[in-house]
Amino acid sequence: MTAVEEAPLSPAGNPIGFGNMKRVEDQRFIRGEGNYVDDVNLPGMLHSAILRSPYAHARIKSIDTSAAEALPGVVAVITGKTLEGIPRPSLLGDNFAWMPTLSYDTQAVLATDKVRFQGQEVAFVIANDRYIAKDAVELIDVDYEQLEPVMDAKKAMEPDAPVIRDDKGQTDNSITDVHGHKTWESGNAIGTAEAIAQAEADPNCVVVTQEIMYPRVHPAPMETCGSVSYLDKVTGQLTMYTTSQAPHAHRTVYAMVAGLPEHKIRIISPDVGGGFGNKVGVYPGYVLSVIGTIVTGKPVKWMEDRGENLMSTSFARDYHMTGTIAATKEGKILAVDVDVLADHGAFNGVAQPTNYPAGFFHIFSGSYDYPHAHCKVTPVYTNKAPGGVAYACSFRITEAVYLIERLVDCLAAELNMDPAELRLKNLLRPEQFPYTSPTGWEYDSGEYEKTMRVAMEIAGYDELRKEQEEKRARGEYMGIGFSFFTEGVGAGPRKDMDILGLGMADGIELRVHPTGKAVLRLSVQSQGQAHETTYAQIVAHELGINPEDIEVVHGDTDQTPFGLGTYGSRSTPVSGAAAAVVSRKVKERARQVAAAALECSPDDLEWELGRWYVKGDKERGKTITEIALLSHGSLELPEGVEGHLDATAVYNPPNLTYPYGCYICVVDVDPGTGQVKVRRFIAVDDCGTRINPMVVEGQVHGGLADGIGMALMEVIAFDEDGNNLGGSFMDYLLPTSMECPTYELGETVTPSPHHPIGAKGVGESATVGSPPAVVNAVMDALAPFGVRHADMPLTPANVWRAIQGNPIRVDMAVE
């Protein structure tokens, strides 16, 4: 169960099991032969475009579509009114103008009464080509009555704030979840309050409170969202090519919305060009392409452009947090209390398990050993795009980790203590695992100090501090920042976790052909995570079949079993486990067949990679390839042994897996201009068993770039009038290779005790772990100026302003 075992090589030179192996999917990607939704062109296909609201908050007085309809090449123009007229025989509402969100709220497919964010869908044009569709959109005349928008979450609950969701009869902008709660709490409120009060009264203790904002950012996948839908009127079959991270979940949502049985709906997610949570939700555009094919009888393609993607689809974060940390003067943490104002936009569309309306934010107590923690999250509506909990966040653990890691650094500053020393003093110890956190999470395994020491070793920590001291004496400002993160990923145990009532267990199917080649059918959906490679390696590891002889099929609901899809780093913890379990079922069936062939009892057989042999007589055995043929052949099988080797499984994870890591960032800051240069980044991840270290490192590299981007440049801010100030890549900046140093990676391997191969999820580790390391490094550099905190993104302007003692309010227009 350890990663260090060297797997033997297949004839193609691939590890028959775990180890570095080139990504199978890159063969097509690097040749430009990937097949994305926009590459799908069906005969007779029509195109579409969406008219979007220019205002954040306005009443729709009238919509005149006549000029658009008259444009040659236009096939249909659909408005909210049209949708209200299409009856929907389903439990979730009686017409198509509104649809359910993943959080049991409602969202307008096309606005009927009001528009509630800039970029909201108002009308849908279907035309012979995408140019005509766009031309027609410009000809639609909407008469709006502008209303005052709510752009500042902090003002959303003021008594005179305009009410956004009057459609639901609301009288304020509070959000009520499916359980009837308006705030979400976790941990022990009284114990935490008492511990903090005691610390305040104790001269040997300190209490630090810090306002920390995680501003709204966007996943910005390279491929924007889109779909091609076709309803075959003869068979009644709806086929939908769509950018989805969760094809099966989408299918069931469509089935519920449309009142169709699942088997009449086929969702195909071909290659997906990045997801990061952006492609978890169901967007109005998808639904409109379905309505488009119903109305026209032809396939209809909808593909949003970059601006539409940035302005209307799932954002991430937007958490205004106030954290309080209490500790002894020696640096022993005693308690943490957090109060959060969560900006959910105009519709509560966040994707998270039903029982976790604030996602897994409650894991904020972090990697440290202290008894008291409590948080309270208050969600509000604002006139911003809905969605959320997207962007590689493992369900808001990104916010949680950022909060605790910033708080620990604020505490270190208050105590005038080295932040590394402070962390080492408080990290959970190996013997405490499995560890139950003060908010009730059971961390499965960890050797935290070891991981931190490896990172400090790579960094040459003592040398760095020396260098910093010398530089400070010369008036140069370098900073060293730490982050130690623990995530809980792999949602999740079905008794605790579901989305819209769908439990989070994953199905899987493994077919072994007579020739011993195999097909593995997955419910999870790669968006770049290399599932076609790593899942073959899991089967290879279990059965000894060459990975190149194992085809991994995913992304088509007609070809794969049910499961909830890929997000929150859940694929390896859930479907990866399922792959091992189903392989073991096959192995067990193979044992029965081998026993029949070798004329012995199955109990007399022993397994070595790819082969059952008779105990004590290694020569007498059958390889998996031989067994495959025998199982389909004429061999007489004992009663009760079915023949063939195929198997299916459903994996219901007993717990989340808890990957962790220690990151160290080194920056140089030019105080004259506020520019930050990330000079070094050291990342030591422990994600348990590494199936393919190269793929793990690829995930980490990408996540570090994400994190540097969020820390230094990415933000979706709004002006007072409700204009989105991040609606293009000129304004929403993504980091380039020039902003990212050559990463220095390390690893420790502490397998998950409950996962069949000991693996933990790693897809989001670096995105979660890196922003606090960068910010902590910049704050460390600015310490001589007395700066303790400034919010991301740390643009040159923001850094300079922080030095002046006047940091920027990052979620609003810069003033």
Partner 1 sequence: MQTPAPLADYVRATSVADAIAQLEKYGEDARLVAGGHSLIPMMRLRLARPEALIDINDLDELKSIKVEGNEIVVGAMVRHREVLDSPLLFEHYPIFRECEKVIADPVVRNRGSVGGSYCQADPSEDLSALGSALRGSVVIQNSTGTRTVPMREFHFGPYMTQVGDGEILTEVRFPIRPGAGSAYEKVERRVGDWAVASVGTFVVVKNGVVEDCGIGLAAVGAEHFCVPAAEEFLIGKAPTEENLEQAAAMAAEGCNPSSDQRGPADYKKHLAKELTLRALRRSVQSSQGA
Q: Which stretch binds partner 1 (CB under 8 A): 134-142, 567-575, 688-696, 744-752?
A: 134-142
Q: Does 688 bind partner 1 (CB under 8 A)?
A: no
Nearest to 99 by CA among 78, 80, 118, 77: 80
Q: How far is the C-alpha of 152 from the C-alpha of 811, rounded, in Å?
A: 8
**Options 335-343, 363-371, 392-400, 796-804: segment touching partner 1 (CB under 8 A):** 796-804
Beta strands 58-64 and 141-146, pairing class? antiparallel
Give whichever of 9 and 45 is closer to partner 1, judged by the CB atom. 45
Closer residue to partner 1 (CB): 171 or 736:
736
| 55 Cβ neighbours under 8 A, 6+ residues apart | 115, 118, 144, 146, 149, 722
> Is 38 a residue that touches partner 1 (CB under 8 A)?
yes
Q: Does 32 bind partner 1 (CB under 8 A)?
A: no
- Asked if 797 touches partner 1 (CB under 8 A), the answer is yes
Q: Which of 558, 549, 552 is nearest to 571 (CA)?
A: 552
Task: By CB under 8 A, name the one of 174, 198, 328, 675 that touches partner 1.
Answer: 675
150 lines the binding site for partner 1 (CB under 8 A): no
Interacting residue with partner 1 among 739, 743, 753, 788 (CB under 8 A): 739
User: Least distance (Å) from partner 1 to the CB of residue 672?
Assistant: 5
Considering only residues 113 to 132 of the shown chain, the ones binding partner 1 according to CB under 8 A are: 130-131
Asked whether position 781 contacts partner 1 by CB under 8 A, the answer is: no
Select the span of 15-23, 452-460, 477-485, 789-797 touching partner 1 (CB under 8 A). 789-797
- Residues 34, 386: Cα–Cα separation, whole Å: 30
- Output the smallest distance, CB 713 to partner 1, in A: 5
Report if residue 801 touches partner 1, rule: CB under 8 A: yes
CB burial of residue 524 (10 Å; 0-12, 13-18, 19+): buried
Complex with partner 1: residue 331 or 735, whichever CB lies closer: 735
Stretch that binds partner 1, among 388-396, 445-453, 615-623, 807-815 (CB under 8 A): 807-815
Whole-number Å distance between alpha carbons of 564 and 548:
27
d(CA 576, CA 563): 12
Q: What x/- string results for residues 51 through 90 when contact with partner 1 is judged by CB under 8 A?
A: ----------------------------------------
In whole angstroms, what is the distance from residue 243 CA to residue 234 CA?
26
Of 539, 551, 509, 514, the residue nearest 627 (C-alpha): 514
Instruction: Tell me the three state secondary structure of residue 736.
Output: coil
In the complex, minimum distance from the CB of residue 815 to partner 1, in angstroms, rounded to a whole number:
5
Q: Contacting partner 1 (CB under 8 A), which of 636, 736, 742, 805?
A: 736
Least Cα distance to 213 among 340, 324, 383 occurs for 340
CB nearer partner 1, residue 48 or residue 534: 48
Torsion angles phi and psi, residue 442, rounded to 5 = -105, 100
Look up tokens 């195999």; give the residue.
Answer: 518
Q: Is 134 near partner 1 (CB under 8 A)?
A: yes
Q: Pick the piece of the chain touching partner 1 (CB under 8 A) from 390-398, 692-700, 710-718, 781-789.
A: 710-718
Dihedral sign (CA 170, 175, 181, 182): negative
Part of the chain binding partner 1 (CB under 8 A), chosen from 173-181, 267-275, 489-497, 709-717: 709-717
Smallest separation (angstroms) from partner 1 to the CB of 241: 16
Could you say whether residue 217 binds partner 1 (CB under 8 A)? no
Please answer whether residues 706 and 770 qualify as being in contact, where contact means their C-beta atoms are separated by less than 8 angstroms. yes
536 phi and psi angles, rounded to 5 deg: -65, -35
CA gap 403, 326 in Å, rounded = 14
Compute the least distance from the CB of residue 131 to partner 1, in Å. 5
What is the rounded CA–CA span in Å between residue 504 and residue 568? 12
* Nearer residue to partner 1 within complex by CB, 130 or 376: 130
46 vs 78: CA distance, rounded Å: 14
CB of 53 to partner 1, least distance (A): 17
Pick the closer one to partner 1 by CB: 70 or 814: 814
Q: Which stretch binds partner 1 (CB under 8 A): 112-120, 285-293, 530-538, 672-680?
A: 672-680
Pick the closer one to partner 1 by CB: 53 or 655: 53
* Segment holding 629, helix H or strand E: helix 624-632
Phi-psi region of 785 (alpha: psi -120 to 50; beta: other; left: phi over 0): alpha
Q: What is the rounded CA–CA span in Å between residue 726 and residue 706?
A: 16
Structure tokens at 582: 């189903």
* Selected binder of partner 1 within 124, 184, 441, 800 (CB under 8 A): 800
**Which residues, 302 to 341, sit near partner 1 by CB under 8 A?**
303, 305-307
How many residues line the site for partner 1 (CB under 8 A)? Answer: 38
Q: Is residue 781 within 8 Å of residue 671, measured between CB atoms?
A: no
Rounded-to-integer distance, Cα 433 and Cα 40, Å: 50
Question: Of 184 and 800, which CB lies nearer to partner 1 in the complex structure?
Answer: 800
Using CB under 8 A as the binding rule, whether residue 735 contacts partner 1 is answered as: yes
Q: Which of 725, 741, 753, 783 binds partner 1 (CB under 8 A)?
A: 725
Q: Are 228 and 40 in contact (CB under 8 A)?
A: yes
- Residue 785 binds partner 1, judged by CB under 8 A: no
**Strand ranges across the sheet with 660-670:** 477-486, 660-670, 675-686, 744-747
Q: Binding residue for partner 1 (CB under 8 A) from 175, 228, 717, 766?
A: 717
CB neighbours (10 Å) of residue 101? 21
Cα 386 from Cα 108, distance rounded (Å)? 11
The residue from 102, 455, 478, 808 that contacts partner 1 (CB under 8 A) is 808
Q: Note whether 713 binds partner 1 by CB under 8 A.
A: yes
Q: Which two tokens stand for residue 285?
A: 């555009």
Select 438 or 709, whichever has its Cβ closest to partner 1: 709
> Half-sphere exposure of residue 620, counting CA atoms within 13 Å on the CB side?
13
* Least spacing, CB of residue 716 vs partner 1, in Å: 10
DSSP H stretches of helix in 460-502: 461-473
Neighbours of 41 (CB within 10 A): 9
3-state secondary structure (DSSP) of residue 57:
coil
Site string for partner 1, 386-425 (x = CB under 8 A): ----------------------------------------
Q: How far is the CB of 342 from partner 1 (least distance, A)?
A: 24
Query: C-beta of 123: minimal distance to partner 1 in Å?
Result: 16
Only one of the segments 245-253, 396-404, 629-637, 725-733 lies at the binding site for partner 1 (rule: CB under 8 A); that segment is: 725-733
The residues near 788 (Cβ < 8 Å, ≥ 6 apart) are 210, 410, 413, 779
CB 515 within 8 A of CB 807: no
Q: Does 222 bind partner 1 (CB under 8 A)?
A: no
Residue 796, interface with partner 1 (CB under 8 A)? yes
- Name beta bridge partners: 232: 237
Closer residue to partner 1 (CB): 78 or 133: 133
User: By CB under 8 A, what part of segment 250-309 binds partner 1?
Assistant: 303, 305-307
Query: What does the binding site for partner 1 look like in residue numbers (CB under 8 A)?
Result: 38, 49, 130-131, 133-135, 138, 303, 305-307, 672-675, 712-713, 717, 725-726, 728, 730-731, 733, 735-736, 738-739, 795-797, 800-801, 808, 813-815
